[in-house]
Structure 1
């Protein structure tokens, strides 16, 4: 459940959905702690178990940092903060209001998953008192026992996304901006990434720029929430750029084909939307399988489906939202 990366950085499995899907990162410096992303409400006991395993008390946590406010990253933030007496919450300025009043965030999640599924996955989202929330515009820095941690604005996956730069460790905590990297696909020390185009604010041009910004920092590792630190950053950045372009091309092709749907489908209120959804999901599945062949992943079709079943649907839905918004 808890593993150490290096230089006081620890990786905690949040337990969300399946093992090694969703990570919480702990940065420990001279007995003080920053928690990067929180998982969901059910993840909160794991944070305290991890602190205890490290010989640390709840009042050793000075900061809880959210890379963005999607609920697999931030759903447990309010509950966790309510049990951390000394912590402040660091969040992008666009996301701060949603932590103070999560009603719109919850409504958006219900729109994606449905009310029953959303409640089952995330539970009751607890608000964070406004006086404990610190907004982090681009370049805003905090200190953890003298260790500088700088927030940089990294839109593309979401407009409210920041990355946290840990210069001492040479690590960027990148949330979803630097894609998804699942440990089941590793080949020895060689790791792989797949972009995340989750609804509803995917912007390929902004995401390309954010990836370039991370790579320009020349970190020795990028810690992604799904799942953990990855190295060989230039190679992975190039892979992300190539795959984003392929996803955009596939989405545009689906939009073009589905626009020419039959008159019967066009007459149905759900026909064109359903056709586009199915095209995007099948297209995403084919892109994942093509990447598996390209990279030589040691996983058969059923294993790839198990690993990526959630992401295929979410990426397809994010591409659909991008097309509806104008698809630029």
Structure 2
């Protein structure tokens, strides 16, 4: 079980509702579960307790009450938040930023990749893209989406830094592959990298069974496998010892993360290419191929087909399939 954070004492009762406690990851970093899409352990917000109180990722707007409750459990006032950093502007990572700033964080600025800033100020294209993916479920999962005032957006490009404490400066690295507008953020205190979706997804639901699973996030519409592998190589070259995932949690088994992603990225593409070769380049077909491939792998690890992790896996692989179909269609 080395490489994972402890799961014990995760819950508390509040007003007869069971809520997940923030997870202490050490080095002044905690993780708040945002219950994205109503699912435990899907997307979270990292809290860095420094002189300039900093959050990384917001999830979508329905996660904001969980963020506020998590800050309260940590004894922190959201009004003291100085920076809200988003790795990229997809709604499951940054959709709650506007609501958080408007209602809870009057001092905060949102820190974002140069190519993502305008979409925080005018999220109309983000909304259109997400509606195409989520359909009738969009309102339930993402509303309300509040624009971020332009004067409260702070842009950080490749290798630029953000000083949040006397001896803590975060460094931003351009890391495309999942999206063109993606940053990964290096923290020198933990020697860790906040990788958003560039280095894929950690399925923490499997950790209690002793299984590490890291899969690429190939969602539409900017997936680029070669860029993703280049971003992986960059992170590896930096020598980090911890990876903080957007979905969900921290791992210190960084070599295993790299190994699995280098295995799964080409296999995901090959599954989609096989569907294309058979004249069935469709989301449903590719999704089934991905699910069968991952299920076969998990079966060798002793994971049954009815394991709770499949609730998230099925949803993720369907969206991954959409991105793979989009990628191959663009190549044509």
Same topology, TM > 0.5? yes
Pairs within 5 Å for 1:42-121: 42-82=62-102, 83-114=104-135, 116-121=136-141
Q: Once the 2 structures are TM-superposed, how far is the Cα of residue 189 of structure 1 from its aligned partner? A: 6.6
Work out the CA distance in 2 between the residues paired with 1:69 and 1:211. Answer: 20
Q: Which residue of 2 aligns with 1:224?
A: 245
| Structure 1 residues 54-104: Cα deviation after superposition (integer angstroms, max 9, x where no partner) | 222223211000011111111101000112111111001111100000111
Instruction: Please identify, of 153-162 and 139-148, the stretch whose mean Cα deviation from structure 2 is larger.
Output: 139-148
Secondary structure, counterpart of 1:144 in structure 2? strand
Distance 1:189 1:282, change over 3 A: closer
Q: Which residue of 2 aligns with 1:308?
A: 313
Is the Cα contact below 8 Å between 2:206 and 2:309 reproduced in 1? no
> Number of aligned pairs?
309
| Structure 1 residues 107-142: Cα deviation after superposition (integer angstroms, max 9, x where no partner) | 11112222x311111012100010110111101110
Work out the CA distance in 1 between the residues paired with 2:129 and 2:77. Answer: 35
Distance 1:188 1:217, change over 3 A: farther
Displaced runs of 4+ in structure 1, greater than 4 A? 187-190
Work out the CA distance in 2 between the residues paired with 1:188 and 1:303. Answer: 11
* Aligned: 1:287 with 2:293: yes
Is the Cα contact below 8 Å between 1:93 and 1:160 reproduced in 2? yes
Q: Which residue of 2 aligns with 1:41?
A: 61
Give the alignment's Cα RMSD to 1 decimal.
Answer: 1.7
Secondary structure, counterpart of 1:94 in structure 2? coil
* Aligned: 1:29 with 2:50: yes
Match of 1:7 among 7, 27, 30: 27
Q: Which residue of 2 aligns with 1:324?
A: 329
Q: Once the 2 structures are TM-superposed, how far is the Cα of residue 302 of structure 1 from its aligned partner? A: 5.4
Work out the CA distance in 2 between the residues paired with 1:309 and 1:229. Answer: 22
Q: Which residue of 1 aligns with 2:16?
A: none
Instruction: Please identify, of 124-133 and 305-314, the stretch whose mean Cα deviation from structure 2 is larger.
Output: 305-314
Is the Cα contact below 8 Å between 2:191 and 2:241 reproduced in 1? yes
Q: Which residue of 2 aligns with 1:255?
A: 276
Secondary structure, counterpart of 2:219 in structure 1? coil
In structure 2, the gaps of 5 or more residues are 1-19
Q: Once the 2 structures are TM-superposed, how far is the Cα of residue 190 of structure 1 from its aligned partner? A: 5.8
Q: Which residue of 2 aligns with 1:264?
A: none
Work out the CA distance in 2 between the residues paired with 1:297 and 1:178. Answer: 25
Work out the CA distance in 2 between the residues paired with 1:89 and 1:199. Answer: 24
Instruction: Please identify, of 179-188 and 81-90, the stretch whose mean Cα deviation from structure 2 is larger.
Output: 179-188
Distance 1:127 1:297, change over 3 A: farther
| Structure 1 residues 131-184: Cα deviation after superposition (integer angstroms, max 9, x where no partner) | 110111101110112211011000001111111100111110111111111212
Pairs within 5 Å for 1:172-211: 172-186=193-207, 191-211=212-232
